[in-house]
Structure 1
Amino acid sequence: MTLVIQFLWFARDMQAAVRCYTALIPGSAMGPVRTPMGGVEVVDFNLGDQRYRAMQTGAPEAFNHSVSISAECATQAEIDHLWERLKEGGAEQRCGWLRDRWGLSWQIVPREMGALMSGPNGARVAQAMMGMVKLDLAALRRAAA
């Protein structure tokens, strides 16, 4: 079977970013940093059950919304914890999105978001979400009820 690995290219502080991400997501781990091409650093890591490879090599193109990491959280406490840590030095955005201090976009959402959005009151859930920055699970559930 083909192995698929998401690849992230950092301009700076790759090791700090990967250490931050793996500390925040349960079941995550960072492998050893390799330097296969002079000053270029490469590291494999996993966030939960997803595999990643990161490289730091100067000035790549900046991250943008076309690639993001979606973290599905079971509780509001998990949403709050990830949100607060990832927004440090970054920027909050609407609808559960934020950019971390390295420029990577994250979607911090409740695990049940798909069910809430596809339920009979999905339009109300979507409308409630559009008015939020960090997602409020209780308010989304109320909108779905």
Structure 2
Amino acid sequence: MANDIYPCLWFDGQAKAAAEHYCSIFKNSKITFENSFVVIFELNGTRFMSMNGGPMFKFSPANSYVVECETQDEIDYYWDKLGEGGVHNKCGWLDDKFGVSWQIVPRILGELMANPEKAPKVVEAFMQMTKFDIQKLLDA
């Protein structure tokens, strides 16, 4: 038996606005269903549901979405687009204008962290960063 698993994001009346915003940022994205309560959408083939649940619950960094980027241009793009109107935090984390937490990270980070000699220097470098800088990580 196959069960689909996908996140549901709880908004206070902004479910459609959030889905439209995210679909405008990620290529190959679309809204697949909507009514006044629920919006189903896909970002790069990953399904999400947003709902207008009311003001009772807020987002927190305890649940974040990771965007792995190949290039510095991709990091810059997602950092600017998702961070617009939100809060930029340390180490590639940001909260968007809806309060959803994102991590904008270079794909090479895992490889750099797997090198026991380089990893401490990489950690030291990225702990000083807000937005990730791939070249500085490579130079660490």
Interval of TM-score (by shorter of Structure 1 and Structure 2) = over 0.9
Where has structure 1 moved over 2 Å in runs of 4 or more?
A: none
Structure 1 residue 70: deviation in Å?
0.6
Q: Deviation at 1:27?
A: 2.0
Q: In the alignment, which residue of structure 2 is the partner of 1:133?
A: 130
The aligned amino acid for 1:100 is D
Show structure 2 runs of 5+ residues with no match. none
**From 60, 68, 72, the counterpart of 1:64:** 60
- How far is the alpha carbon of 1:43 from its aligned partner? 1.0
> How many Å separate the matches in 2 of 1:138 and 1:29?
33
Matched AA of 2:45: D
Unpaired segments ≥5 residues, structure 1: 36-40
Distance 1:124 1:48 in 2: 33
Name the structure 2 match of 1:104.
100
Name the TM-score, length of structure 2 as normaliser.
Answer: 0.92
- Aligned residues between the structures: 138
Q: Aligned with 2:38: secondary structure? A: strand
Letter in 2 for 1:61: F
Partner Cα distance (1:44, 1:63) in 2: 18
RMSD over equivalenced CA pairs, Å: 1.2
Write the deviation string for residues 80-131 of structure 1: whole angstroms up to 9, x where unpaired: 0111111111111000000001000000001111111112301111111100
Pairing 1:115–2:115 present = no
8 Å contact kept, 1:91–1:100: yes
Shift of 1:68: 0.7
* Identity score, percent: 38
CA–CA distance in structure 2, aligned partners of residues 136 and 93 of structure 1: 14
